[in-house]
Structure 1
């Protein structure tokens, strides 16, 4: 049986829906508590409702970027797991990278026709463990993080920011480099074209976003669409 049938099975839907419901329930609780706490910061109910409205509208941009990534994940790991992962994490690039790394660990490509049920299960475990590590670290070591970060950065928050960004750049550069190497093989060259097109689009969008800051939240989604379109066009040519 094709693994995608399992990935989109009723059993997985029933397993993922409760998690999403819990997230929605938490969002409602936090929203009510925030609204009830408005008086503590001298914010009247009308201004609080206006702030919530502005926040909801500003969330549309990031949500669209996540939605585009979710479409890509759905084609590989199915709709239930993609929906659940991005509902509780929301870091679309991180989830995509985790799924990709799980495939790399088994010497296969995420989009390979040979990607099967075992690879799907491995991707599910890697994404779950990745998210669990965040929760584990937050729950046990949050009260000690200030001391650790001070030692690492020497009390300079800019230095800590540079270290964090450097780590992320290294991880994603490794993944992007793998796509560039595929250009050596004519059969996989569209992957290289797609990656380069998305990178160029992101550079351009980043410059445009400096003039139009609201565009920033849409950059990831737009760049991915440009990359996918470039790959498809190149393959058909």
Structure 2
């Protein structure tokens, strides 16, 4: 029988996976952790399954004897607002966090996203970084330290996934990618590349639920 984890206090872990060893001064650090499918989650006496924005099940992560839960999913389960202050690099939990806004963070449904003539590009992404003209950008998190700019964001587009994947592959090669892990199909793509001045993870898959009819792309970028 699976163990039950009753949530009285939530220990929050935030991890970004991508190419490593590029920036000694970066805030990102690679760790070895395990997805722990043996731990169940119970919220107010009821079994709860954490899911991401696409409805995919998320497992707790165990690292050095501590269990980490996805903060946004747990916040939704507890009906507690979650906000990210990009300027302060701080996650805010509760009503105080909800009242604070950050120009670097947004969550935009398809019906209210920016039009194709006004794509909201993240500030820290290179000016020539490929983003489709019809992109609807959301969930942007940006930071900068020691000359290294980091940005995590997602966007929705009607552009085909294989076309997007190949355009990113060519772009990262032009930027000097020396380490490459790339899988590009008509229904999904995953690219994890790095060079002397950047590291990137780019994934794409069809949107689900209210994002059906769009393709969803997730980008994690670090660069100078």
Point out the structure with max Rg over C-alpha. Answer: 1
The answer to which structure has the higher helix fraction is: 1
Global fold match (TM > 0.5): no
The answer to which structure has the higher strand fraction is: 2
TM-score (norm 2): 0.25
Q: Which has the higher contact order (CA 8 A, sep 6+)?
A: 1
